[in-house]
Amino acid sequence: MELDKSRDTQAVAIRPYGHADAAGTLAIFLAAVTETAAADYSPEQIQAWARPEDRDLSTWHAAMQARNSYVATIDGAPAGFSDVNPAGYIDMLFVAPRHQRQGVARQLIGYVEAHARKAHMAALTADVSVTARPFFERYGFTVEAEQHPVKAGVQLTNYKMKKNLLGSEVRLTGQLVCHTEDQMATVRDHLPLYLSLTRDEPGCRSFIVTTTNNPLIWQVEERFEDAAAFEAHRERGAGSAWGHASSEIERRYSVTGR
């Protein structure tokens, strides 16, 4: 399993996998394994994992259909894909190397998690590569075991990871602390729109910012339904007008539930 380290949000759309996606998704898989994962696995391991000479479109298509797969697109072209079965197991999450850092993996994991929650699944599980582990940890998965599967006679390393979907709310509490009147004016000018946009974000349960007895300090209380929603909020916030204008203002925050 491989993916990107998303930072910059692009116009990513997600739809169910179809027969026309077979060639494109197979190409993404092979490129992600042979290029992106090559930083963490030996050439022998990469060859055993990818096995390009053993892949054919009909077999690939049948497997993609059986896994309840989804395709992420940018400008209509496949950029990544994932899946989740009725037990909550994610078999694949791959992003094309040329679409790294464009929000594809984040959108896919969010889509898969939303589907799992709608289906009342208790947890998501995955066998995650060395390369992908930091991303999954960021979105609330924890390692249950290190594994050493053998593919084509070659031993690899991956991790059994899990994310519980029950009681996984993320909370942020703390203070926004201004040190100058200009910073205070920045908060007053930009905060109302930021509050409105945040409350409309998927997974935001509440977002409250209140004044205190000190006019330079605001009390902040945030609640998001899970780590994926919270991290997506943080990424959008950092790139917003509010994020740029308030980047020098001190935050005294604590986060629980991630």
Is 5 inside a domain boundary?
Answer: no
Is 3 inside a domain boundary?
Answer: no
Looking at the structure, tell me whether residues 152 and 178 fall in a common domain. no
Looking at the structure, tell me whether residues 33 and 139 fall in a common domain. yes
Q: How far apart are CA 188 and CA 215, in angstroms?
A: 11
Task: Tell me the one-letter amino acid at 147.
Answer: Q
Is 52 inside a domain boundary?
Answer: yes
Is 239 inside a domain boundary?
Answer: yes
A 10 A CB-CB count for 183 gives: 18
Is 59 inside a domain boundary?
Answer: yes
> What pLDDT was estimated at residue 1?
66
Of 140, 164, 188, which residue is a domain's last?
164
Looking at the structure, tell me whether residues 130 and 232 fall in a common domain. no
SS (H, E, C) the chain: CCCCCCCCCCCEEEEECCHHHHHHHHHHHHHHHHHHHHHCCCHHHHHHHHCHHHCCHHHHHHHHHHCCEEEEEECCEEEEEEECCCCCEECCEEECHHHCCCCHHHHHHHHHHHHHHHCCCCEEEEEEECCCHHHHHHCCCEEEEEECCEECCEECCEEEEEEECCCCCEEEEEEEECCCHHHHHHHHHHHHHHHHHHHCCCCEEEEEEEECCCCCEEEEEEEECCHHHHHHHHHHHHCCHHHHHCCCCEEEEEEECC
Looking at the structure, tell me whether residues 198 and 245 fall in a common domain. yes
Of 129, 164, 199, which residue is a domain's last?
164
Looking at the structure, tell me whether residues 29 and 49 fall in a common domain. yes
Looking at the structure, tell me whether residues 47 and 146 fall in a common domain. yes
Is 2 inside a domain boundary?
Answer: no
Which domain, by its residues, includes 250?
170-256
Looking at the structure, tell me whether residues 39 and 156 fall in a common domain. yes
> What pLDDT was estimated at residue 258?
64
Looking at the structure, tell me whether residues 29 and 111 fall in a common domain. yes
Average pLDDT per block of 10 residues along the chain, 258 residues long: 50 94 98 96 97 95 95 96 96 96 91 88 95 93 95 96 85 95 95 93 92 95 88 90 95 87
Q: How far apart are CA 162 and CA 174, in angstroms?
A: 29
CATH assignment of the domain containing 47: 3.40.630.30
Domains held by the chain: number: 2
Is 42 inside a domain boundary?
Answer: yes
Is 83 inside a domain boundary?
Answer: yes
Looking at the structure, tell me whether residues 233 and 146 fall in a common domain. no
Looking at the structure, tell me whether residues 24 and 121 fall in a common domain. yes
Of 115, 130, 164, which residue is a domain's last?
164
Looking at the structure, tell me whether residues 33 and 154 fall in a common domain. yes
Q: How far apart are CA 116 and CA 253, in angstroms?
A: 30
Cβ(169)–Cβ(151) under 8 Å? no
CATH assignment of the domain containing 203: 3.30.70.100
Looking at the structure, tell me whether residues 237 and 157 fall in a common domain. no
> What pLDDT was estimated at residue 5?
44
